[in-house]
């Protein structure tokens, strides 16, 4: 059984002593609350064909999550969008790529700076001399800024400090648990220990080429447009658009799970998604979750805009943050809970309180 904790519950369990030694809430490490899912290394990704020579590498549920990747074949090499959370995950995708083609990976595109989308960059660089890593200028800046949020070189240090505490906590939880819960916790512990070892060895590879405006890559036999549409999930989001294949790769600006808003710009995000909607496409390769039809965009945007409206209204009515977390969560549940709880991670109930708090901070108090 997948266990779901709210951030509050986890913080409560961790206790003040743990927090004082910079133990980071594991759920704070990324984009949403992960589940204690079990994932064998060899089953980390499933390749799904989106168009001729275009694949979505859909990441399996894992406690230490991975982002999806898009794999785009050209006549002289491969372009990979997003590089997952760790070298072993990048190796898993790269192995799958080599089953499909013997051409080298020429380019990596990072959609944004979060840890689970770029920490595998170096693995591709090492295996493919001359590899270009492309991102927006802002994403490159974010990758080196200490205060950027949940990603970048400084965030590697943050994770290295936090992971031993997370491991101790998991060990204690394993001892206290039984049955399936114990098995899941053991898997989470093993993933976390492996992740720590990988992170200690990680040689960060930053983008080698940045773009400041929407650009087009004329690749062999393939047109790839890189769209900068405005702030959303972060202030440096990049959308990869294949006009002929009618596919778009969105990173976490559009996902099939609850979004992570803490480094985001909720009001801008709604507008940015409308700009994305103006492009002609049929398939969305999201940052997390399965490949989706275009109609998923308006549903996802609806969640963000209704969340903003509900939090604003509750604040105007004088609700406290805690009251808001209950009231708004119930208000939006009939429309969004089921659709946003498809996977063992990033589920509605685990994330709604965090989302409400983020919107309250960013839109109401503007703290």
Question: Where do runs of H (alpha helix) occur along 202-291?
Answer: 266-277
Joined tokens for residue 215: 């650009």
Nearer to Zn ion among residue 66 and residue 305 (C-beta): 66
CB of 205 to Zn ion, least distance (A): 18
Q: At which residue do the structure tokens 């406690």 appear?
A: 63
CB of 64 to Zn ion, least distance (A): 12
Alpha-carbon distance of 269 to 273, in angstroms, equals 6
Side-by-side strand order, sheet with 247-251: 215-219, 222-227, 239-242, 247-251, 283-286, 292-293
Please report, as ranges, the residues that interact with Zn ion according to CB under 5 A: 31, 67, 114, 116, 252, 287
Q: How far apart are CA 271 and CA 266, in angstroms?
A: 9
**111 in helix, strand or coil?**
coil
Smallest gap from residue 251 Cβ to Zn ion (A):
7
Burial (CB < 10 A; 0-12, 13-18, 19+), residue 183, is: middle
CB of 256: closest distance to Zn ion in angstroms? 12
Nearest-approach distance from CB 171 to Zn ion, in angstroms: 27
> How many of the other CB atoms lie within 10 Å of CB of 209?
12
Q: How far is it, in rounded angstroms, from Cα 205 to Cα 105?
A: 15
The CB-of-28 to Zn ion minimum distance in angstroms stands at 13
Q: Which is nearer to Zn ion, 119 or 128 (CB)?
A: 119
Q: Which residue shows structure tokens 């002929």?
A: 244
Helix, coil or strand: residue 185: helix
In the complex with Zn ion, the residue whose CB is nearer, 32 or 173, is 32
């Amino acid at each position: 059984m997948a266990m779901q904790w709210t951030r509050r519950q986890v913080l409560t369990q961790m206790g003040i002593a743990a927090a004082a030694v910079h133990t980071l809430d594991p759920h704070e490490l990324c984009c949403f609350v992960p589940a204690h899912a079990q994932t064998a290394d060899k089953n980390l990704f499933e390749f799904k064909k989106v168009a001729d020579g275009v694949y979505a590498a859909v990441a399996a549920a894992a406690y230490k999550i991975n982002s999806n990747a898009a794999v785009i074949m050209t006549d002289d090499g491969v372009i990979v969008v997003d590089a997952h959370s760790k070298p072993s995950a990048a190796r898993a995708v790269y192995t799958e790529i080599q089953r499909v083609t013997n051409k080298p990976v020429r380019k990596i595109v990072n959609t944004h700076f979060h840890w689970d989308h770029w920490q595998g960059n170096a693995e591709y660089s090492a295996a493919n001399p001359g590899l270009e890593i492309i991102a927006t200028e802002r994403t490159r800046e974010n990758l080196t800024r200490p205060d950027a949020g949940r990603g970048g070189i400084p965030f590697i240090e943050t994770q290295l400090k936090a992971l031993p505490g997370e491991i101790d906590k998991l060990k204690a939880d394993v001892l206290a648990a039984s049955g399936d819960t114990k098995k899941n916790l053991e898997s989470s512990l093993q993933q976390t220990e492996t992740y720590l070892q990988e992170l200690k060895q990680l040689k960060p590879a930053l983008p080698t080429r940045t773009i400041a405006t929407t650009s087009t890559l004329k690749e062999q036999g393939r047109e790839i447009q890189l769209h900068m549409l405005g702030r959303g999930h972060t202030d440096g989001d990049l959308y990869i658009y294949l006009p002929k294949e009618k596919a778009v790769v969105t990173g976490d600006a559009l996902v099939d799970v609850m979004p992570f808003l803490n480094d985001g710009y909720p009001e801008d995000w709604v507008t940015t998604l409308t700009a994305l909607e103006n492009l002609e496409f049929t398939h969305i390769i999201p940052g997390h979750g399965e490949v989706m039809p275009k109609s998923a965009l308006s549903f996802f945007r609806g969640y963000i805009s209704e969340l903003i409206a509900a939090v604003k209204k509750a604040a105007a009515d004088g609700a406290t943050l805690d009251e808001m977390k209950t009231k708004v969560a119930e208000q939006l549940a009939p429309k969004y809970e089921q659709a946003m709880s498809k996977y063992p991670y990033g589920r509605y109930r685990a994330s709604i309180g965090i989302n409400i708090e983020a919107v309250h901070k960013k839109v109401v108090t503007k703290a």
